[in-house]
Structure 1
Amino acid sequence: MGDDDGSDVSAGLGLAPGARGCLFDLDGVLTATAKIHAQAWKKTFDTFLNAYDKRTGRTDQPFDQGADYENYVDGRTREDGIRSFLASRDIKIPDGGPEDAPGTESVYGIGEAKQWAFMSLLEEHGPQVYEGSVRYVHAARAAGLGCAVVTSSTNCKDILRVAGITDLFDATVDGHDVSAQHLRGKPAPDSYLAGAKALGIEPAYAAVFEDALSGVEAGHAGAFGTVVGVDRVGGDHAEHLKQHGATVVVKDLSELLGAANAEEKR
């Protein structure tokens, strides 16, 4: 692809000139599973806090499905999210290990409880796909750009399969890869750098699409050509995304296509 062609393609997708690949977060960008994750975290943390407070005599506020999810959990690996939230409450518990049963008072025990809660809710509601995002991925592929999913979720392949969009992506980097390759979780750029490597492109020629603050931080830290913040919640979230590294913020990826079409008509 020549420089001129790359610029034209990039402009048609609302990206910086020369883009050759797109790296999409899963939950909140491609699918509405972020809402299911938030519900699962609330159920899990509230159950933990209730038991912990009874044992220690503390009085903790319940998990805030908005602020706590956004600030401490969203976009991070499961274990990092648990450590981050517990640190915000000045709660210290053992890490434990992957063999810990759900409900064990350990980081991994809480993680297993969250996984059970998430899978139960996923079975009940299914993964809703954002149609605007799917249209954008189709447009990116039609323009010759590589597309990959980069997520901290260990449920990535199942969600893509159930949603019927597996074939849209050339590569995936998920929670299993983060663990197996010893990658640092978001806000470190490691997983997105791995996604760019899987597509065979340099970060400067790749675009990151994220709804989480930790995710846009990762895109910024990795010096990616474009960091698109996706604001699904409203309020101050758009401004927070910009503050944490997003170069452009939209409510839906279809807006990037809409902006391009509007320019063509002028």
Structure 2
Amino acid sequence: MNSPTLHLDRLDAALFGLDDVVVDSALLHAAAWQRTFDSFLRRRGRRAGLHSTEGTGDGTRIPSFELPGDYLRYAAGRTTAEGVRGFLTARGIALADHSPAPGEETVRTLADHKDACFGEEVRRVGVNAYHASVDLLRDLAARGVRLAAVAGDRSCEQLLSAAGIAGLFDVCVDGGDTTLLGLPALPDPGLLLEATRRLGVSPRRTAVLSGSLVGVEAGWHGCFEPVVAVDRYARADDFYRRGAHVVVRDLAELVLSGRCRQELLAHR
């Protein structure tokens, strides 16, 4: 079987998702999501006067946040608020996005709680970058390919700093930019297109490397080429259905071919 190849004569830039692609942070995200929703459902059950930790006012049991399924379905690659809405909707729970009443639980309060839990997990456990991903980033940069880090939530700078790899990227965009600029959330390609705008490159000459279904779908909708899915949970068929051109288990599988124009000119 031939190794999947990145043809550098066709590339000016590459956009890297962080979770499961560059850093091993997905399990920390998942743990923070589980803590957030488990505590929310316990509080909801107590208010309803139930003995069960999860339930509704009529005694119907609400399934708790399950790993890794619920994380991959509702949260991976999305803004924190979108992850909250997705899980609550799946469990038949409606909350307002915001509320003027102090102490009332909303989508925003749950999102803030999840982000705080994630920060605690990062400080407690730490974050490591995948060696193959760091090697690829350095190789691409040496060949003149511009690099951007992309995160659907607001964790981009936090993760890069914790892993000690902030200096590898030219640009960092995340859910904070989505809010600030009024961009639609992934799988809309707006955040990816903002990264290419800052880099001054065309999506047609920009690779997207993502570990989430919504990230891959955004790359396909934005006409990026190639779209590479990093599949650490055996979901290759799902990634191909969302628009991936290539699916790998680890970035060590990728082979670089050719040199960018910048390197060719430097050797003339």
Q: TM-score, normalising length from structure 2?
A: 0.86
Between 1 and 2, higher relative CO (CA 8 Å, sep ≥ 6) is seen in 2
Alpha-carbon spacing, 1:12–1:86, altered in 2? closer, same or farther (3 Å): closer
Residue in structure 2 matching 1:50, options 42, 49, 53? 42
Aligned position for 2:241: 243
Aligned position for 1:151: 151
In structure 1, what is the Cα distance between the partners aligned to 2:122 and 2:247?
Answer: 28
Matched position secondary structure for 1:14: strand
Describe how 1:21-100 pairs up with structure 2 within 5 A.
21-54=13-46, 55=48, 56=57, 57-96=59-98
Gaps of 5+ in 2: 49-56, 259-268
Quick check: 1:16–1:225 contact (8 Å CA) kept in 2? no
Quick check: 1:53–1:59 contact (8 Å CA) kept in 2? no
Matched position secondary structure for 1:58: coil
Quick check: 2:4–2:246 contact (8 Å CA) kept in 1? no
Aligned position for 1:3: none
Question: 1:15: how far off?
Answer: 4.4
Quick check: 2:7–2:257 contact (8 Å CA) kept in 1? no
In structure 2, what is the Cα distance between the partners aligned to 1:19 and 1:120?
Answer: 38
Alpha-carbon spacing, 1:97–1:166, altered in 2? closer, same or farther (3 Å): farther
Moved more, 188-197 or 56-65: 56-65
Aligned position for 1:135: 135
Q: Deviations over 1:91-144 (max 9, x none)?
A: 10111169977xx52101111111121111111110111111111111111111
Gaps of 5+ in 1: 1-10, 262-266
Quick check: 1:95–1:108 contact (8 Å CA) kept in 2? yes
Describe how 1:151-190 pairs up with structure 2 within 5 A.
151-190=151-190
Question: 1:84: how far off?
Answer: 1.2
Matched position secondary structure for 2:30: helix
Quick check: 1:98–1:108 contact (8 Å CA) kept in 2? no
Alpha-carbon spacing, 1:117–1:216, altered in 2? closer, same or farther (3 Å): same
Q: Counterpart of 2:253 in structure 1: which amino acid?
A: E
Quick check: 1:96–1:106 contact (8 Å CA) kept in 2? yes
Aligned position for 1:201: 201
In structure 1, what is the Cα distance between the partners aligned to 2:122 and 2:98?
Answer: 26
State the identity %: 35
Q: Counterpart of 1:74 in structure 2: which amino acid?
A: A
Quick check: 2:80–2:115 contact (8 Å CA) kept in 1? no
In structure 2, what is the Cα distance between the partners aligned to 1:28 and 1:98?
Answer: 37
Quick check: 2:122–2:162 contact (8 Å CA) kept in 1? no
Matched position secondary structure for 1:40: helix
The higher radius of gyration belongs to 2
Aligned position for 2:10: 18
Question: 1:198: how far off?
Answer: 1.1
Count of aligned pairs between the two proteins: 246
Quick check: 1:15–1:226 contact (8 Å CA) kept in 2? no
Moved more, 16-25 or 86-95: 16-25
Q: TM-score, normalising length from structure 1?
A: 0.86
Aligned position for 1:5: none
Alpha-carbon spacing, 1:144–1:97, altered in 2? closer, same or farther (3 Å): farther
Aligned position for 1:218: 218
Q: Deviations over 1:17-42 (max 9, x none)?
A: 61110000112111111110011101
Alpha-carbon spacing, 1:196–1:100, altered in 2? closer, same or farther (3 Å): farther
Q: Deviations over 1:230-252 (max 9, x none)?
A: 01123xx1221111111100111
Aligned position for 1:227: 227
